[in-house]
Structure formats: structure tokens, C-alpha cells
Amino acid sequence: CVGVLRKEDLKLAFASGAGNKIILFGARTGLDGIGGVSVLASGTFGGDEGEGAGGHGAEGGAGPSRSRKKLPSVQVGDPFTEKVL
């Protein structure tokens, strides 16, 4: 995705200090993740992919189950959220 705007229309902002609220807005991320998101989540929330829910494969082996493997992802639009924005 690429955006174009005039330099004078660019708005920069930052927040400092404790107590600032953070609002995350966007589509839900499934088990396939979105590129680096799946790598970050597996590294942050459970170590390797074999840990956590579904840690053993369907065959009883030590590998990750089919549902826990990194899958190719396609970004899907959300028409409702688009209208709200």
C-alpha cells in the first residue's frame, strides 16, 4: 500500500508520559498471521510453534499441528470497518 500527500499535509505526533491510552484498530489476525505478526506472536507468547494449544501434531509426534503451522495469508478487506472510517 502506498500513499501520496503534500508535505504540508503530513501530520506528525507523539505521546510521552505515563497514562496514555493506546487504541489498536484493524482486522483480526487469524492463525496464519500477517507476515511478521505470526513470527512475533510465536516468539512472544509461546516460544516455538510447538508449544501452547495444539502443541503436538495429529500423528502424536512432537511437531506442530497442521493448524499451528505458518500458512500463506491473503489480506481480506472489511467493508463494515471501511464504512465506519
* Spatial contact of 52 and 65, defined as CB atoms under 8 Å apart: no
Over its C-alpha atoms, the chain yields an Rg (Å, rounded) of 19
Enter the pTM of the model: 0.20
E strand map for 1-85: none
Describe the chain by its helix, strand, coil percentages, rounded to 5. Answer: 25, 0, 75
pLDDT tens per residue, range 37-67: 444 444 455 544 444 444 444 444 455 555 5
Average pLDDT over residues 5-26: 82
Average pLDDT over residues 63-72: 56
E strand map for 2-85: none
Task: Please check the confidence at residue 17 and state whether its pLDDT lies above 80.
Answer: yes
Give the residue extent of every domain in the chain. 28-85
For the chain, give the mean pLDDT.
63
